[in-house]
Amino acid sequence: MIQRVTIVGTGLIGASVGLALKASGFKGKIFGYDTNAEELATALKRGAIDEALKSREAVLLTDADVVILATPVLPILDWMEQLAPRLNEHQLVTDVGSTKREIWAKAAQLFNQEGRARFLPGHPMAGKESGGAALAEAKLFHGATWLFTPVAEEGELESAWRDLVKQFGAQIRDMDPKRHDEVCAWVSHLPQMMSTALAALLHETFADDPEGLAAVQAIGGRALRETTRLGASPYSMWRDVALTNTAAVAQTLSALEQRLAHVRENLRTPELREEFAKANQFRKQ
């Protein structure tokens, strides 16, 4: 049923979707569009797409069975506004946005109506600390969870797309959009902000102390590398998460601040042992 796919945004995730489609045996044609000509060229060179679309209008005129919006959240919302009046009920739009409440609300408003395209909000829980088509890989989604927040009763197109995602090796899970954003704030957005804050603090502390910085780099070891790994992520990847999931992220940060204060206040008491016991229990689960 799905023979033509258009990927809007050919960075890490978009290009990886294209590579995963081909690796899973997809025989149709894959089009790609990106405002960054270099990313688009890289995706084409690596075989993630078969044809590069040169303009936004070309995307709006697409006759693709599935359009995948693989950009940050705010551009996804903009593309939804532009695509809704131009596509038809025989087409499906899906996305890979990191937050879902605003996307879900706009999908309910603009899509899944008579004469309009279908829309299935999605979010693959996969990625790297750095982006770009050059880092894309067909196995990026293998073993990862691919979340969906359905808007309406689904039809054959949605089922066909879900089948393709399964062929990527991903595990599908449906969630309520509000719950999605709350949980992702804990498991994805908070770790990113923690890593960013720690890496920024270390940079600020040792920026004018070359000897101290050399010592940190020499003895930091695996723990420091893993803890600050996400600190390499660019602001452009996380700006829209902060803007569209502000309340949930702020709530998790506040909870962590309180927990760190509790640890600080109990460095010399048995309460610290209890904190380690609870942490150990979570890891065992």
The pLDDT of residue 161 is 98
Average pLDDT over residues 28-39: 97
The pLDDT of residue 228 is 93
The pLDDT of residue 215 is 92
Indicate the pTM of the whole model.
0.93
Taking alpha carbons only, the member of 145, 130, 97, 133 closest to residue 19 is: 133
Share of the chain above pLDDT 70, in %: 100
- 49 touches 43 (CB < 8 A): yes
Q: Does the pLDDT at position 285 exceed 90?
A: no
Tens digit of each residue's pLDDT (9 = 90 or more) over 199-242:
999 999 998 999 998 999 889 888 899 999 999 999 988 999 99
Q: Write out the two tokens for 33.
A: 């569009």
DSSP one-letter code for 127: -
Average pLDDT over residues 133-137: 96
E-strand ranges in 57-190 read 66-69, 92-95, 118-120, 122-124, 145-148, 171-174
Angle between helices 235-244 and 246-265 (to 10 degrees): 100
Tens digit of each residue's pLDDT (9 = 90 or more) over 58-93:
999 889 999 999 999 999 999 999 999 999 999 999
The pLDDT of residue 3 is 97
Q: Does the pLDDT at position 127 exceed 90?
A: no
The pLDDT of residue 283 is 85
Q: If you count DSSP H runs as helices and E runs as strands, how many of each does the chain have, helices first?
A: 13, 9
Q: Write out the two tokens for 38.
A: 């270099």
Q: Does the pLDDT at position 129 exceed 90?
A: no
Chain center to CA of 278: 29
- What rounded mean pLDDT belongs to the chain? 96
Tens digit of each residue's pLDDT (9 = 90 or more) over 234-276:
998 899 999 999 999 999 999 999 999 999 999 999 999 999 9
Taken in order 206, 203, 134, 126, the sign of the CA dihedral is positive
3-class SS of residue 8? strand
The pLDDT of residue 130 is 84
Which residues, 6+ apart, have CB-to-CB distance to 112 below 8 Å? 118, 119, 151, 152
Average pLDDT over residues 15-22: 98
Which residues, 6+ apart, have CB-to-CB distance to 268 below 8 Å? none
